[in-house]
Chain A
């Protein structure tokens, strides 16, 4: 599925924060997790994740450090901070509201039926 650039930009940071909320991780693993969770539907340009992660770091939502993986490869691990968790909780409420509103506009029956049609 092709997502619009705006939607990717809007959702990328929240997806990254939400995944880091499950535990510390690094860029490649975050992308893999997104792909798993969305059954491969959400695919970003991989390189774009890193400037986004650096932005989160600058805003103080995550902190980063270099660690060695089991196989001796150096990776930059990101950890969510308290302020990141607060941010995530706030974002979560906002997205929930958008989601609820869209659900009321597009009842699940029409969505299911619609997915079979060519739009």
Chain B
């Protein structure tokens, strides 16, 4: 009997270690499945089966380990981000061959690099008159974002019939901003240049998630991954641009040593072309490294959440201590917008790396504290600033900044509420926070679209 127990223990250990190699399964899932296995075995031995017969039947009923772990991977796709995928089982959809993908990405990067120079053929110098600069400012989104969308649509194997819907927003936006009589040195032109990429980024997201539009039912599912993708893309892009900038500086030095002026080549060709192509290379890197390298954005969020919380607390304490109200209007408003964006970024990337099923921990309290501090600071700023705006009237800049502030404030306020419910009463699941953040994404894009479409005519194109 003792020997029997030994073999049975060996069988179960082996079964468990086979399961534990799957990236999508956490120790708590293993414990849950093992509990099931043991319950089933207990029931079977009562009907007269021996222990190892019971094990075989129970293990068989639990199902093929590949299929079960794939089902877990589908439900917990977040888990595949941080670890090497150990099992060799292929995905259900055949993956695109990686060498074909590399060729395509390089071709698209070259296309993006070429696209930024095409207007020059028609006489739009890159460093030209005000009129020319305004052309580049309003069209900056169209040199690279359509190519990025195309790459992602290809990568996700989007059906051909649904691809035109992705092109439509780009076409509409391009026609619109180029037909607007924007004043070349006007404020609304700068607002359009800043907000158009934000609005169109949602279209990139639709391609990234394989064609999920905001009005589709299962909208939430893919967009947490898109948030992860965006954060990593931003960091990879920054790293590439910084490296490229250093290389350009070095080349300028070397050329000046042989007394050849290469600045026209470096500034008019290498820098803009490189900046465009780098977007696609960065996107490809994020896709390729997704499951190999630890995500960077959440690591940065971990480092900076305590620091920003401390800085904000100091700011609030100083403000209370000195009794100094919030002063200058536009700069202050933009400053507080940036603060809210920073806090929202920290919140998003802390969320994105968290195991949704884990109970609250110290870091959650810290994040909640950060959000509350930001809310208090912003509420004080907002009351001071709105009073002044109503006194001096609305300009395009102020209205845009105010709208953004309110949108971010609403998001953070509801996040704080969900956080509080999660931390104190455990009545809201952590997933509710994730859902709220993904459901809110269209609001940013929507507001950006309003600024692009409505602000220029409303504020007289200036």
Contact = CB atoms under 8 A, between A and B. Distances in A.
A46 B40 contact: yes
Contacts of B74: 51
A30 to B, nearest CB: 10
19 contacts: A27-B36, A28-B39, A32-B43, A45-B68, A46-B63, A47-B63, A47-B67, A50-B33, A51-B71, A51-B74, A55-B75, A58-B75, A59-B431, A60-B435, A63-B429, A66-B28, A76-B28, A76-B32, A76-B35
Interface in B226-265: none
A115 to B, nearest CB: 27
A42 B64 CA distance: 18
Contacts of A73: 35, 38-39
Interface string B48-78: 0000000000000111110110011011100
Contacts of B426: 63
A51 B357 CA distance: 13
A14 interface: no
B429 A47 contact: no
Interface residues of B, number: 31
Contact of A46 (B36, B38, B65, B72): B36
Given A51-B75, A55-B75, A74 B63 contact: no
B31 interface: yes
A48 B35 CA distance: 15
A100 B169 CA distance: 44
Nearest to B426: A63
Given A45-B68, A57-B429, 8 more contacts: A28-B40, A32-B43, A45-B63, A47-B62, A63-B429, A76-B28, A76-B31, A76-B32
A33 interface: no
Interface string B383-400: 000000000000000000
A28 B71 contact: no
B107 interface: no
Nearest to A58: B431
A63 B276 CA distance: 46
Contacts, number: 77
Interface of B: 28-29, 31-33, 35-36, 38-40, 43, 61-65, 67-68, 71-72, 74-76, 356-357, 426, 428-429, 431-432, 435
B71 A48 contact: yes
B214 to A, nearest CB: 18
Given A58-B356, A60-B431, A50 B61 contact: no
B429 A48 contact: no
A64 B357 CA distance: 9
A29 to B, nearest CB: 8
A57 B62 contact: no
A60 B40 contact: no
A49 B435 CA distance: 23
Residue picked from A28, A48, A60, A76, most chain B C-beta under 10 Å: A28
A63 B63 CA distance: 25
B37 to A, nearest CB: 9
A26 B93 CA distance: 32
Interface centre among A26, A32, A48, A63 (most CB of B within 10 A): A48
A74 B71 contact: no
Nearest to A32: B43
B76 A46 contact: no
B32 A27 contact: yes
A66 B357 CA distance: 12
B63 A75 contact: no
Interface centre among A32, A50, A59, A76 (most CB of B within 10 A): A50
A50 B29 contact: yes
Q: Name which of B29, B62, B71, B431 has the most chain A CB atoms within 10 A of its CB.
A: B71
B431 A57 contact: yes
A1 B219 CA distance: 35
B75 A28 contact: no
Contact of B61 (A46, A55, A58): A46
A58 B68 contact: no
Contact of A45 (B29, B32, B61): B61
B81 to A, nearest CB: 16
A78 to B, nearest CB: 11
A106 B410 CA distance: 53
Contact of A28 (B35, B65, B72, B435): B35
Contacts of B35: 26-28, 73-76
Contacts of B62: 45-47
Contacts of B356: 58
B67 A54 contact: no
Given A45-B62, A63-B429, A54 B39 contact: no
Nearest to A59: B431
A25 B426 CA distance: 19
A40 B139 CA distance: 64
Interface string A32-48: 10000000000001111
Give the top 6 A-B pairs by smallest Cβ distance, nearest first.
Answer: A45-B63, A47-B68, A47-B63, A28-B39, A51-B71, A47-B62
